[in-house]
Structure formats: C-alpha cells, structure tokens
C-alpha cells in the first residue's frame, strides 16, 4: 500500500538544512530559504535562465495586424484551429498556476521551491498573454466561447478532465503513488501537451501569418522548456533518492495515454485542411517528441520508428543561426535580462 505524503512544515526548529541531509521530497529542513547551502546545482542554473527570460505580453507589438489578418487571411479551418488551440493552452496554464503550490508544499529543497515559485509566476504571465491575444485579435462576442470551448467540445472536455483528475487525486489522497503520478503529469503537460498547438502557430508564422501571436507563443515555449527541465530533474532525483517511489511503468503508461490523447485532440482540432499539417504529421511529430522526452529520463523510446520530426520548418524557425533569425533571434532569443543576473545568487 502506498504511504501517505506529509506536507513540509512552514517552520521546523528541529530541522536539518545541511546538504548531506537534504532530499528532493520527505526531507527534514527548518523551512528557512537558505540559498547559500544548495544540493541541486541544476536548480541554480534554471533560476538564472528563468529570471533572465522575464517578459510581459505588453512588449509584443503587432497584434492589431494579427486581428486584421485573422479576419481577412485565415481560412475558416485556420480560424477554428486558432481558437480551439488557444482554448486548450489557456486551460493548461490555468491549471498549472493553481496546482503548482500543491506540489511545492511537498518539495523539501528550497532551491527547487524557488524555481517552482518562478514557474507559477510564469504560468500566470502566460494566462495574461492569452487574454491579451484574445482581446487584441478576436471579437469580444467570441472570447467566452474560446475560454469555455470545452463545454461544447467533448474531445477537449475529456482531455481537460484527464489531467485535472490526476492533480485532484493527489489533493484528495496524498499517497506516494498519487504524488508521483502528479509529478509525471506535470512533466507530460509541459513536454507533450503544448507542442502540437505550438507547431500550428509556428506553421502560420512560416507562411508569414499571425506573426505577433507567433512571438507570444515563442516566449511561452521558451518558458515551457525550462518547466520541462524542472520536472525531468525532479523525476530523476526521485529515482535516485526514492527508488521505491519511482516507477518507470507508470511513466510509460502515462506517456502512452498522453500521446494517444494529444494525437486525437490535435487531429480533431486541426483536421486535414491546414497546409503543412495533417493526421499523419501529427502522429509522427507527437511520437517523435515523446521519444525525446523519455530520453530526458533515461527511458527507451516507446515508438522506435519515430526517429525524425516531420516539421522541418520548426527547426528552421528556431535555428537562431539560420535565415529566419529576423523572427526568432531578434525578438525572442535576444529578449532576455540575463546580463543583469551576473553575480547574483553566487555560490
């Protein structure tokens, strides 16, 4: 029977903050944020990157141009995909903003708690960003329809219920297994669930459509990649420190389900009339991505035949040394405050 998890006390005078005693979960710390004593060096590196990646949607120009283009140049299928994908992305970042503190309460490493707090802030910025996009691009009478698209779309409703229930299971029954499933669900959400949607917006950008929306998505994707790395590291630390909790079969089972749902939803919302995207490319891309994400955890591919991405234009758009640098490199990659971080949190 799976053991119960205990929430870390806010202040524990009997705690031990030494590196030797520190654990990713189930530790016995004082509750003090002593960041001069750290065990997980990857958390320091991510802190520097995440703080350097600070951005706000108000800095993104051109959304008025997107509004005109949305009405005049996008096909009905592209408009439907644009709205449906935004609806799913809004749900993902909303649920992350609310759920992350529930998990952080059980992480017993202050350096990891710190970056989880930054992640929660970034998820809130993402929610604000989607609101800014909707307010700028979509007519007001359609905005509620996008926020609540799951009320009329059964495929989206089932997706939302699945991930939401995993989080709710842990909140209601805080066992080791439910905690591990919630951590894996975070990894899958950050590493799989966003990316066919991102690929759609990048495909529009490749055709010089909806460029401002593309810039917003590029900032969000940059943040999400750090979130993927956070949870990959947490899972690896649990594997190392608590092998009795780590369960590779759960990871593979949940990854398989995530891939199945991502293919079903993306095929449903994209259809077969988005130039450059179809059911086969969706399947190939999702399976290829799943293999890459599993490799981050040292797990063999679930889909051995999926060895390359079908979307070569995504690599071109994101290659900061390539001929598309006028889009990504000059706006997203270079929009960073990293230089201001020199010397901070120096240990």
Given CA atoms 204, 209, 211, 216 in this order, what sign does their dihedral have? negative
pLDDT in tens, 265-307: 999 999 988 999 999 999 999 999 999 999 999 999 999 999 9
List the structure tokens of 4.
């119960």
pLDDT in tens, 330-341: 344 444 443 333
pLDDT at 207 (0 to 100) = 94
CA distances 167 to 98, 185, 189, Å, are 10, 8, 11
* Per-residue pLDDT at 247 exceeds 70: yes
Catalytic residue of the set 130, 167, 195, 246:
130
The reply to whether the predicted model has a pTM over 0.85 is: yes
Q: Reply yes or no on whether 130 is catalytic.
A: yes
* Per-residue pLDDT at 27 exceeds 60: yes
Mean pLDDT of 164-171: 96
| Confidence class for position 325, pLDDT limits 50, 70, 90 | very low
**Domains with residue ranges and CATH for the chain:** 60-335 (1.10.620.20)
Q: Report d(CA 57, CA 131) in Å as an integer.
A: 10
Closest CA relative to residue 309, chosen from 285, 275, 287, 276: 285
């Amino acid at each position: 029977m799976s053991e119960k998890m205990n929430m870390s006390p806010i202040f524990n005078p009997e705690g031990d903050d030494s590196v030797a005693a520190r654990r990713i979960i189930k530790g016995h710390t004082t509750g003090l944020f002593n960041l001069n004593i750290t065990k997980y060096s990857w958390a320091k590196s991510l802190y520097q990157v995440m703080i350097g990646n600070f951005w706000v949607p108000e800095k993104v120009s051109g959304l008025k141009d997107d509004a005109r283009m949305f009405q005049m140049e996008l096909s009905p299928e592209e408009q439907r995909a644009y709205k449906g994908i935004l609806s799913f992305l809004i749900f993902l970042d909303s649920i992350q903003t609310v759920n992350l503190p529930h998990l952080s309460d059980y992480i017993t490493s202050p350096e990891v708690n710190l970056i989880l707090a930054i992640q929660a802030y970034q998820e809130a910025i993402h929610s604000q960003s989607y609101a800014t996009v909707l307010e700028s691009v979509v007519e007001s009478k359609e905005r509620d329809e996008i926020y609540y698209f799951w009320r009329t779309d059964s495929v989206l409703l089932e997706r939302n219920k699945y991930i939401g229930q995993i989080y709710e299971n842990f909140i209601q029954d805080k066992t080791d297994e439910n905690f591990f499933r919630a951590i894996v669900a975070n990894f899958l959400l950050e590493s799989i669930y966003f990316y066919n949607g991102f690929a759609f917006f990048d495909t529009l950008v490749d055709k010089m459509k909806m460029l401002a929306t593309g810039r917003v998505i590029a900032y969000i994707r940059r943040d999400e990649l750090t979130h993927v790395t956070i949870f990959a590291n947490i899972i690896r630390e649990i594997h190392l420190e608590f092998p009795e909790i780590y369960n590779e079969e759960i990871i593979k089972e949940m990854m398989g389900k995530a891939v199945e749902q991502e293919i079903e939803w993306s095929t449903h919302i994209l259809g077969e009339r988005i130039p450059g995207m179809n059911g086969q490319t969706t399947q190939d891309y999702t399976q290829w991505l799943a293999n890459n994400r599993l490799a981050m955890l040292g797990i063999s591919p679930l889909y051995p035949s999926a060895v390359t991405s079908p979307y070569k234009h995504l690599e071109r758009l994101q290659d900061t040394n390539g001929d598309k640098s006028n889009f990504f490199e000059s706006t997203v990659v270079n929009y960073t405050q990293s230089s201001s971080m020199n010397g901070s949190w120096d240990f």
